[in-house]
Every structure is written in C-alpha cells, then in structure tokens.
C-alpha cells in the first residue's frame, strides 16, 4: 500500500491481517526498516516467519528508496526525517508501541527513533550496525572498513565513480549482496543513487566521523545485536561495544555470513529474532 505522509509518500508492506491488528496489537507488531541500497524486499524471509508466529509486520521503503517518494535536496534525507516518517506512519496505523528491527542504515534509524520516542518502542533489534558510540570507538580496523563513507560525501564525484563502467564499482561494493543486480537496476532510476547517498551525507558527515566525541543518548532496552562473521564493512567490536550504550537488557549473537545476513542466513536470523521477541513480549518493555 501507499501511505501519504506530511511531505512524502511511502510504499509500505503491511501484513494487516496478522495477529497484531486490533486494540493492544502493537505489542505483537514488528516494524522492519531496511538500509542501503535496499527496499522492504530485503525482509522477505523474515515476514512469513514472523507472521506465522503471530506477529503483524510493517515494512516500508524509506524515503528515496524503492517505490517511495524522492524529495529534492540532500537535507530531505536526514535521519530525523526518516524517524518523523516512521512515527507518522505508526500514528496513521494507530500503533502506539511496536518492536523495531533495523538493518544497516535501518538500524541507525530505528535507534534514533528509540532515542526520540522511547515510549513507542517495545524492543529493539539491530542487524549489522550498532550504536554510533560503539562505531566511533571501534578502532583503526573499523576506520579502514568505513573508507567509502568519505567517498560518499563527495556529491557528484561519488555518483560518477559508482556508476562508471556500467556501475562496476557499485557492483564491486555489493559483491556479497544476494540481490546485487536488482539493487544496481534500481540505482539507475533518475535521482535514486543521489537520494540513497544523501543518507550518508546527512547522517555521517566528516564532522561526525572525525570530530570530537559527542554525548550520545543510550538506547532503551531490551536490545538484540546481530553481527555477521564475514561483514566487509563492520567489525564485531562496532556491534559488541553497543552494550555500553544500552539502558536495560542487552543480548548479542554472531551469525555466519556476510553483511546482508537476513538474506544470507535467514533461518538463523529468524530463529534469533523470534526467540528474542518472545522473551520481550512476555516480559517488561525495559528488560
């Protein structure tokens, strides 16, 4: 379905017939948020498993991605804008409080949502990307793996480099992505690549990556962190360090596979998510 929000239209896959519908159903509703360069389709293995376990799933395409709208201007893609979109989406669906699951940039966005509106969060599951404080203190190896973030800041040059020779460099970056060719095809659409890169330009500019440490809020628990052993972009330390930034319960699990773990190791990811959600649904929202 398509949902008209304040300044953008989002494409949203909603399993509205699931057990999460009705009064109080938000405690069995899961909001799934994708990252770069994906759409809601990256959750295609999780949605059936969650629905079968009695959870309603809401999986939007973020602004600038997939079939959602692409506002003009880099500033339209700040993390705060996506957080506002998601909160407005929950309001439109009459959902007060949900489980949040995010991968890659989606993890950063659901963390920001949890910090902004902790009362809307039942639990938080982070795939690949941990707390920004953990990323910033993860050491030189993580700095090396994050080289591309600085390239992405260079508007125009980054787009040309990634699309050069029929997107050869983007293909190389997405070597392990199970949907690589589909993702490249979407980046050919007018404005799609710039919109996707704008998340990096607004969310991780050089001032954030190399400036003085900033005080960062803690995450409301319970929090699950999942990191995959063959992730080319993120070190294990960048996820495990998140524990220091959680006010409440923290659980960490390693998954065999690459960066897109929900696509590469869906059975393992589904088992861990369902086990974690079952515990949080039965227990207190604050772990």
Give 168-193 pLDDT, tens digit per residue. 999 999 999 999 999 999 999 999 99
What CATH number corresponds to the domain at position 272? 3.40.50.1820
Please state the rounded mean pLDDT for residues 31-39: 98
Interval 52-82: pLDDT, tens: 999 999 999 999 999 999 999 999 999 999 9
Query: Torsion angle of alpha carbons 233, 235, 240, 241, nearest 10°?
Result: -90
**Predicted confidence (pLDDT) at residue 94 exceeds the cutoff of 90:** yes
188 within some domain: no
pLDDT of residue 210: 82
Please enumerate in sequence order all residues whose Cβ is within 8 A of that of 60, keeping only pairs 6 or more positions apart, or say none. 3, 10, 11, 12, 13, 33, 40, 68, 85, 86, 89
Query: Is 196 inside any structural domain?
Result: no
Cβ contact 240:246 at 8 Å = no
Domain membership of residue 66 as a residue range: 2-142+217-282
> In the prediction, which pLDDT does 25 show?
60
The pLDDT, as a whole number, for residue 221 is 87
- How many Cβ atoms are within 10 Å of 29's Cβ, its own excluded? 26
Statement: residue 34 has pLDDT above 80: yes
Instruction: Report the domain count for the chain.
Output: 1
**pLDDT above 80: residue 28:** yes
- Residue 284: the pLDDT is 42
Note whether residue 241 is domain-resident: yes
38 lies in a domain? yes
Q: How confident is residue 282, by pLDDT bands cut at 50, 70 and 90?
A: low
The answer on pLDDT for 20 being more than 50 is: no
The verdict on residue 187 lying in a domain is no
- The angle that helices 157-173 and 192-203 make with each other, rounded to 10 degrees, is 100
Query: Is residue 205 a part of any domain in this protein?
Result: no
Mean pLDDT for 113-130 is 97
The string of pLDDT tens digits covering residues 210-220 is 888 778 899 99
pLDDT for res 26 = 61
Asked, for residue 115, whether it belongs to a domain, the answer is: yes
In a domain, 166, yes or no: no
Q: Say what the pLDDT of residue 214 is.
A: 77
CA dist 212 and 62 (Å) reads: 30
Q: Is the pLDDT of residue 40 over 60?
A: yes
């Amino acid at each position: 379905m398509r949902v008209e929000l304040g300044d953008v239209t989002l494409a949203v896959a909603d399993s509205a017939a699931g057990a999460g519908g009705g009064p109080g159903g938000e405690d069995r509703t899961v909001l799934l948020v994708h990252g770069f360069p994906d759409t809601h389709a990256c959750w295609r293995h999780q949605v059936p498993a969650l629905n079968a376990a009695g959870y309603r799933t809401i999986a939007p395409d973020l602004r600038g991605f997939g079939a959602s709208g692409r506002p003009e201007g880099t500033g339209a893609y700040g993390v705060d804008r996506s957080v506002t979109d998601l909160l407005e989406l929950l309001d439109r669906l009459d959902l007060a409080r949900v489980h949040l699951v995010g991968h890659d940039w989606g993890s950063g966005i659901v963390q920001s949502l949890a910090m902004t509106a902790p009362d809307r969060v039942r639990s938080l599951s982070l795939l690949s990307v941990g707390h920004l404080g953990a990323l910033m203190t993860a050491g030189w190896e993580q700095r090396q793996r994050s080289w591309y973030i600085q390239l992405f800041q260079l508007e125009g040059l980054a787009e040309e480099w990634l699309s050069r020779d029929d997107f050869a460099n983007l293909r190389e970056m997405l070597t392990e992505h199970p949907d690589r060719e589909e993702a490249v095809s979407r980046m050919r659409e007018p404005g799609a690549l710039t919109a996707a890169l704008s998340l990096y330009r607004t969310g991780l500019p050089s001032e954030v990556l190399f400036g003085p440490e900033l005080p960062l809020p803690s995450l409301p628990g319970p929090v699950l962190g999942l990191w995959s052993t063959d992730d080319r972009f993120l070190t294990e330390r960048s996820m495990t360090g998140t524990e220091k930034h959680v006010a409440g319960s923290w659980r960490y699990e390693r998954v065999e596979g690459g960066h897109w773990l929900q696509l590469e190791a869906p059975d393992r990811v589904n088992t861990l998510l369902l086990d974690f959600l079952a515990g949080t649904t039965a227990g207190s929202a604050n772990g």
